[in-house]
Chains A and B, each alone.
Chain A
């Protein structure tokens, strides 16, 4: 039947493209290293991975999601080699199940919250730094009556969502803003709600907006939320532990540190 022919053709094409992937990777590992990473790293880690490959490192498959979602997936057998969480408890819960290589565990960055606002007009072309759409100057401004929607990540499973909620609570604003909160599945979705102009303001990861050429941002006082001790570990079940450790070592190089710094991660994080 033609169906079978189609399936066979596809199987062949799929096989071909996976071979292409390997060919473009490095000689050390046959399969690419699968990196599960918190959504706040969507731009930063993609940049670091590019640098890594440019220096002859392995090709990495980056999977982004909320830390909570990714943790659940890893517990249920998702094939992660390396997990960059946005907090420490996620790695703790994996450690308690003996699912990480303990010696590889470390805090790679301290997360910061940033306040952003949508552009009043549609501006799609990249702008010069001084022409960015301004963010509210103070956290209290999100409670203004003109703000109809406030995007944050889902506090139930996203560390940046939890931090945003804590900040609003500790600033005494939560009650006033709660009906106007819109939840993203993870912090990069919350950012996308604002960047597409669909939410008025957002409390998102600094790393997502640090290099944004369109949206300006205001840093939120780190004392208003529990520290986001972003922790990484190599998975015990990984078949590519050596390759994963190599990438972790690359993160310690000046080039990688500088890149992370560019996305708003302080060097003296730990």
Chain B
């Protein structure tokens, strides 16, 4: 019983962070490619908008989301009509808040990855008659994988630690929307420092391991012929 009360927030955090990261990959990679490879009107504005959640206080993100998808908003009203229950204060709301807060980290790093891909490879593929879509999928993205992986790691780590926006949009309901970071906050308020320490340590360990695994996978292979830099 104690075990499941103790581990539930961590399971929810993992679940929310994983879903948010998957969403960030689906939306973020095309966006990063667009920003790295295309010049269009409003590109600078889009770049700022995409990166803004990285520097805005999470409470501001939470507030904007409440205004945009809360029950009194058009989107929130539509959602409630469609699904019969409001989006706010559900695990889905936690995923949305976490996605908005964490996705910019993926976009930023993936954009850097795309920018480092030599455009002549893409040109070569074009001379072979490949479609732009096929070039994106089979040439550019595989070459930019290191940046994408680094971005995924950062995005996931940020998602595991999301607190402010989640608190505002999803609330702090044990067994429903209380993620590990919220559970730590709650345990400290309750003066339950044993629980706070356990959760904090496990959260640090899990996020640290995820970071280590992903950065290890993304490290450049060692070239035995090359002298290490001094």
The answer on a CB contact under 8 Å between B189 and A192 is yes
The answer on a CB contact under 8 Å between A63 and B86 is no
The answer on a CB contact under 8 Å between B22 and A7 is yes
The answer on a CB contact under 8 Å between A63 and B12 is no
Chain A nearest CB: distance from B41 CB in Å?
35
Once bound together, how far apart are the Cα atoms of A14 and B188, in whole Å? Answer: 24
**B residues near A4, Cβ cutoff 8 Å:** 22
The answer on a CB contact under 8 Å between A192 and B191 is yes
**Interface size (A, Cβ < 8 Å)?**
35
**Contact status of A13 and B11, CB under 8 A, knowing A73-B89, A77-B86:** yes
The answer on a CB contact under 8 Å between A61 and B174 is yes
Give the contacting residue for A192; candidates B8, B21, B22, B188; CB below 8 A: B188
**Contact status of A61 and B171, CB under 8 A, knowing A3-B21, A14-B12, A14-B15:** no
Chain A residue nearest in CB terms to B12: A14
The answer on a CB contact under 8 Å between B8 and A78 is no
**A residues near B72, Cβ cutoff 8 Å:** 76
* Complex interface: stretch among A16-24, A108-116, A126-134, A158-166: A16-24
Prevailing SS type, chain A contact patch = helix
A34 CB within 8 Å of chain B: yes
* Among A6, A79, A188: residue with most chain B CB under 10 A: A79
**Contact status of A7 and B15, CB under 8 A, knowing A186-B189, A192-B191:** yes
Chain A nearest CB: distance from B10 CB in Å?
10
Chain B nearest CB: distance from A21 CB in Å?
6
**Interface size (B, Cβ < 8 Å)?**
31
Give the contacting residue for B15; candidates A10, A34, A196; CB below 8 A: A10
**Contact status of A32 and B175, CB under 8 A, knowing A14-B12, A77-B89:** yes
The answer on a CB contact under 8 Å between B4 and A17 is yes
The answer on a CB contact under 8 Å between B18 and A34 is no
Chain B nearest CB: distance from A5 CB in Å?
10
B28 CB within 8 Å of chain A: no
The answer on a CB contact under 8 Å between A63 and B190 is no
Once bound together, how far apart are the Cα atoms of A44 and B25, in whole Å? Answer: 46
Per-residue interface assignment for chain A, residues 1 to 39, with 1 indicating a CB less than 8 Å from any chain B CB and 0 otherwise: 001101100110110011011001000000010100001
**B residues near A191, Cβ cutoff 8 Å:** 191
The answer on a CB contact under 8 Å between B11 and A10 is yes
The answer on a CB contact under 8 Å between A17 and B14 is no
